[in-house]
Amino acid sequence: MASVKGPLMSMDASGSVADTITFSKWKGRNYVRQLVIPANPQSGLQMGVRATFKFVTQIWATLSETIQGHWEDLARTQSITPLNAMVQYDQTRGRQDFGMKQDPTVAEGAVEAAPVGGAATAQPKSLKITWADSVGADDWCTEIYRSTTAGFTPGPATLVAVIPHGDQVWTDVGLITGTNYHYRIRGNEKGGTAGTLAAEFNGTPT
pLDDT of residue 30: 72
State the pLDDT at residue 34. Answer: 75
Domains in the chain and their CATH numbers? 11-39 (no CATH), 44-95 (no CATH), 116-203 (2.60.40.10)
Distance CA 161, CA 148 (A): 16
pLDDT at 45: 84
CA dihedral (96, 49, 200, 185) positive or negative: positive
Q: Which amino acid is at 168?
A: Q
Question: Would the pLDDT of 26 be above 80?
Answer: no
Lowest-pLDDT range, 35-39, 63-67, 180-184, 191-195?
Answer: 35-39
What's the pTM value of the predicted model, to 2 decimals? 0.80
Helix (H, G, I), strand (E, B) or coil at 12: coil
pLDDT, one tens digit per residue, over 108-166 is: 999 999 999 999 999 999 999 999 998 776 889 999 999 999 999 999 999 999 999 99
Pairing of strands 126-132, 169-173: antiparallel
pLDDT at 187 (0 to 100): 94
Q: With cut-offs at 50, 70 and 90, classify the pLDDT of residue 72.
A: very high
What are the distances in angstroms from CA 199 to CA 7, 141, 174, 185?
61, 18, 24, 8
Torsion (CA) 134, 140, 142, 143 in degrees, nearest 10? -140
- Does the structure show a pLDDT above 70 at 169? yes
Terminal CA-to-CA distance of the chain, rounded, Å? 44
Please state the φ and ψ torsions of residue 145, each to the nearest 5 degrees: -115, 145
Kindly report the length of the chain.
206
Q: In this predicted model, what pLDDT tens digit does every residue of 78-103 receive, in sequence order? A: 999 999 999 999 999 999 999 999 99
Contact 192, 162 (CB under 8 A): no
Question: What is the Cα–Cα distance from 23 to 163, expressed in whole angstroms?
Answer: 36
Q: How far apart are CA 72 and CA 70, in angstroms?
A: 5
Exposure string of 116-132, with b = 16+ CB inside 10 Å and e = fewer, is: eebebeeeeebbebebe
Q: Is the pLDDT of residue 6 over 90?
A: no
